[in-house]
């Protein structure tokens, strides 16, 4: 999940790589697909971030971002009604994360078995209910998305976007669960688009 951004961009950014000005946050796109097959992203400015503001509805409940959705579903999974209520009452993704860490009756093995599907379901809603966000996702083409969080080795790759090692998955220190989920969501939405009546 998104962490505090590192200072600066580092000295190894090439002309093929774009990082949001003055920060490691945002989207890092390599324009040469033959050289690099990844889209690195990190921080709230990126539409792919869990912290990025995005209003969507799942099962009749309104959410303000994916971080809220994920931690609300975490509380629901472990039947912590109080935490679920508090998470929905806040619009601050940092608060969502903090409350999510306090969910009672939490069992890691259970969460590990359901969390990826929860994140995929939420992101299908997020990107399908906002045309601008969906276009941003589709504009990544056939590239694999990767959360370039230098501190997250579960949902991210464990490397920042300005780190040249991040351009090769062999160097990744994390599992990139979020990036993998988003890449799958992109394919799910593409398939829905091709089956849509307007494309007949």
Domain locations in the chain? 17-199
Q: Are 87 and 72 in contact (CB under 8 A)?
A: yes
Alpha-carbon separation of residue 118 from 25, 52, 77 (angstroms): 24, 17, 10
Residues in a beta bridge with 154 = none
Instruction: For residue range 91-102, list pLDDT tens digits in order.
Output: 999 999 999 999
Instruction: Render the burial of 87-110: b for 16+ CB within 10 Å, e for the rest.
Output: bbeeeebebbbebbeebeebeeee
Q: What is the mean pLDDT of residues 107-122?
A: 99
Looking at per-residue confidence, does 181 or 23 come out higher? 181
Residues in a beta bridge with 57 = 62
* CATH class of the domain defined by 17-199: mainly alpha
* pLDDT over 80 (residue 24): no
Instruction: For residue range 168-179, list pLDDT tens digits in order.
Output: 999 999 999 999
**Predicted TM-score (pTM) of this structure:** 0.82
Neighbours of 151 (CB within 10 A): 14
Q: Is 106 left (phi over 0), alpha (psi -120 to 50) or beta?
A: beta
């Amino acid at each position: 999940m998104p962490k505090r951004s590192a200072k600066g961009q580092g000295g190894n950014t090439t002309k093929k790589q774009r990082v949001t000005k003055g920060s490691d946050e945002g989207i890092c796109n390599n324009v040469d697909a033959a050289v690099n097959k990844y889209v690195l992203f990190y921080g709230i400015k990126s539409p792919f971030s869990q912290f990025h503001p995005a209003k969507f509805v799942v099962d009749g409940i309104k959410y303000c971002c994916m971080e809220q959705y994920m931690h609300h579903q975490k509380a629901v999974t472990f039947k912590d009604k109080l935490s679920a209520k508090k998470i929905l009452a806040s619009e601050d993704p940092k608060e969502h994360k903090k409350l999510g860490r306090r969910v009672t009756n939490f069992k890691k093995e259970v969460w590990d078995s359901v969390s990826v599907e929860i994140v995929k379901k939420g992101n299908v809603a997020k990107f399908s209910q906002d045309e601008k966000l969906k276009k941003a996702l589709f504009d990544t083409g056939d590239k694999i998305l990767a959360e370039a969080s230098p501190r997250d080795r579960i949902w991210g790759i464990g490397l920042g976007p300005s780190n040249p090692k991040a351009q090769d998955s062999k160097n990744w220190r994390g599992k990139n669960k979020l990036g993998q989920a988003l890449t799958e969501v992109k394919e799910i939405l593409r398939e829905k688009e091709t089956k849509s009546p307007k494309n007949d």
